[in-house]
Amino acid sequence: MQIKIINKSSHNLPNYETIASAGMDLRANITEPITLKPLERTIVKTGLFIELPIGFEAQVRPRSGLAAKKGVTVLNAPGTVDADYRGEIGVILVNISHEDFIIENGERIAQLVIAKHERAEWIEVKELSETSRGEGGFGSTGVK
């Protein structure tokens, strides 16, 4: 699949690091470092603009290493870039650690996964079919 992209950043295009990678790293495209204090959030720009085909989305997801090692994650994970959005891709980062985190230009801040999706058509009814689970949710199928 080919996707049109404009790169206004000072970095290379995102790429897959291995043959089996699902995501491509997104890098911060900033002129000055950003200090993210504990429990603060900010939108970090990437300098990337994309044109997705209808039926696809780009999912902005956390980087596991950044989350595990620094306590910094994507706040609205996964964030969705819709096929009709033409603005710059931004990443909402939040620092859930107890220490300041400094975001540098070029820092790998998130990953981008391109995914196909379906569009649903609602059929309004008065009742739904029965299942053995029924209305059980929020851990109802787990070990007690």
**pLDDT at residue number 29:** 98
Over its C-alpha atoms, the chain yields an Rg (Å, rounded) of 19
Tell me the domains of the chain and their CATH numbers: 4-116 (2.70.40.10)
Q: pTM here? A: 0.89
Q: CA–CA separation, 27 vs 45, rounded Å? A: 8
Cα–Cα distance for residue pair 138/80, rounded to 1 Å: 24
Q: What pLDDT does residue 11 have?
A: 98
**Residue 69 DSSP code:** H
| Burial of residue 110 (number of CB atoms within 10 Å: 0-12, 13-18, 19+) | buried
Q: What is the predicted pLDDT for the residue at 144?
A: 57
Residues of the chain with pLDDT under 50: none
3-state helix, strand, coil in the chain (%, to 5): 5, 35, 60
Residue 133 pLDDT: 83
CA distance 56 to 37: 35
Cα distances (Å, whole numbers) of residue 121 to 2, 40, 124, 129: 28, 38, 10, 18
d(CA 41, CA 74): 9
Collapsing DSSP to helix, strand or coil, 25 comes out as: strand
> What pLDDT is stored for residue 93 in this prediction?
98
pLDDT of residue 52: 98
